[in-house]
Amino acid sequence: MRKLLSILAGICLMVVAGNVSAQTTIPNGGFENWVTSPATEPVQWNSNKTGGGYATLPGATCNDDASIFLFGAHSVRIETISYWGTAVNGSCTTGKVEAPTMTKAEGYVHTIAGDPDFSSAFTGRPDSIIGYYRYTSASGDYGKVGVKLHVGNCYDPEAPVGGNHPDATANVIARAVFFTPTSSVSSWTRFSVPFTYVDGRTPEYILIAMTSSGNQAGGSSGSKMWIDGLAVVYNPKLNTGIVANTNYFVSATQGAAITVPFTLTGPMDAGNIVTAELSDASGSFASPIVLGTLNTTVSDTIFGTIPAGTPAGTAYRVRVTSSNAPLTATDNGTDLTINLVTNSVSPDSTQHLDIWQNGSQITVSETPAATSREWKYGTATGGPYTSFVPAETNSSYIPYFYPANSYYLVCESLIAGLTVMSPEVQIIVTDPLTGIENNTNNNTSIYWSSENLVIDLHNSGFNQPLVQLYDLSGRIIAEQKLDNSTVNTISVNVPAGIYMFRIFDNSGIITGKVLKK
């Protein structure tokens, strides 16, 4: 009967605890639930009534008190009684009371791992244990509440006496102990004792041993201790998890995704905001950068973004903070490297070209090395940009455009998974004159007709002038005397392109450009 009621009570308590804070709680810590078989004891608690060896006594050292309580309608009264002239220390425990001999110093309480009647499952790591007590001291006696979080079996007192039990000190993960004064305390008084942890293991059980006489080998009949509202306290804790990726790439316009896990335990307000923050390149959080936020009261992961343009560095750190309760976690503990992906072009000054004229070579510089690249152009600043046919993918490009227009040249590089666009280089392409430049005589004209250069000097004022035709390198490719009274035709077999000419005699000189299509 006791076992069934204990299990049912424990399930109910765990459901409530899970809804409130998702932390393990002390079962029946208000002592509101009691069983009567095989003895009257609090649900999930034991006393000498169900003890082993000489501990089993007909007298009651653990009782339900429905007249002295602080919460609900009950408290537990633990009292030291006299049995055959010997003081039997009052006891109430989540384990089992044992008295293997008549020697009081050899008595103990213990968790029997795996036995639901004499063990209390507990997997939390609380900060402290709290409760309320009243105490009646006989002959300077004092009460004690001892708590151990542990794995496997556990004993209190821990040190074996006369071989009464094994030494299971290694199973203990945390300890907390409270002693009452040696004088009586007539009103309900709160106590709070922090746990002292010895390592980072997760507990399996909690062993609580409460006695009205804290001296194991002593004790005075008539000492009484009332306990109510026994509970564990979980202060909210926030910890930054392991950031798996330690190497990131950003550009001036693109950030990098970052995943920041965190653990959050303890009571938090429903409106709590957890924020992931990035340090500066030296690891300082004097002016942190927000990576992302999450509204949560439990452990989770923030999927954030390292901002575009973040300076390169190898000592960045990440941490998380919360708003309510206000907490700041330590950083992730490992340096992160942020690489600033760049590509630049040189020279980047505007070039002025004639159609079909080669410009100055432009070279791209990429950091780190690019996986691939492509030169593109647009006819408006900011794009859209068009690929050349065939695609231009070398690290350098010589501008060459037709028809006349303003072109905006860029190099689009794929670096560390980011598509990075270089600054634009403006290429202004003009169509050269198809006649004479700087000629004030409108009666003069010059143009190509198939393979012939046609020159009309009617009424130009020239007296049998000479024409010279140059390519863009300055090399003379044709030279001929002209007749100013007729249309002159000069046969010149040259490729399409731009050519310079000069017409002069003793009266003056004119120069210009002519395009062969």
| Alpha carbons within 13 A on the beta-carbon side of 80 | 28
Handedness of CA 65, 69, 71, 77 (dihedral sign): negative
How many residues are listed for the chain in this entry?
517
Contact yes or no for 116/7 (Cβ under 8 A): yes
Instruction: Name residue, tokens 């810590």.
Output: 29
Give 390's contacts (C-beta < 8 A, 6+ positions apart): none
Comparing CA positions, the residue from 415, 407, 413, 411 lying closest to residue 423 is: 411
Tokens for 318, please give them. 């990440």
Tokens for 72, please give them. 């609900």
Tell me the CA distances in angstroms from 415 to 340, 371, 420, one per residue in order: 10, 6, 7
pLDDT at 432: 59
pLDDT in tens, 97-150: 999 998 889 999 999 999 999 999 999 999 999 999 999 999 999 999 999 999
- Against a cut of 0.75, is the pTM above it? no
The secondary element (H helix, E strand) that includes residue 425 is: strand 425-430
Beta-bridge partners for 455: 446, 488
Per-residue pLDDT 10s for the chain (517 aa) are: 243 333 333 333 333 333 333 478 999 999 999 998 888 999 999 999 999 988 777 667 899 999 999 999 999 999 999 887 788 999 999 999 999 998 889 999 999 999 999 999 999 999 999 999 999 999 999 999 999 999 999 999 999 999 999 999 999 999 999 999 999 999 999 999 999 999 999 999 999 999 999 998 888 999 999 999 999 999 999 999 999 999 999 999 999 999 999 999 888 888 999 999 999 999 999 999 999 999 999 999 999 999 999 999 999 999 999 999 899 999 999 999 999 999 999 999 999 987 778 899 999 999 999 999 999 999 999 999 999 999 999 999 999 887 788 999 999 999 999 999 999 999 998 865 444 333 334 456 788 888 888 888 776 777 788 888 988 888 899 999 988 888 889 999 888 888 888 888 877 777 777 888 7
**Backbone phi, then psi, for 301, in 5-degree steps?**
-135, 135
Comparing CA positions, the residue from 263, 276, 254 lying closest to residue 416 is: 254
pLDDT at 66: 95
Give 247's contacts (C-beta < 8 A, 6+ positions apart): 336, 337, 339
Q: What is the mean pLDDT of the chain?
A: 89
The secondary element (H helix, E strand) that includes residue 263 is: strand 256-265
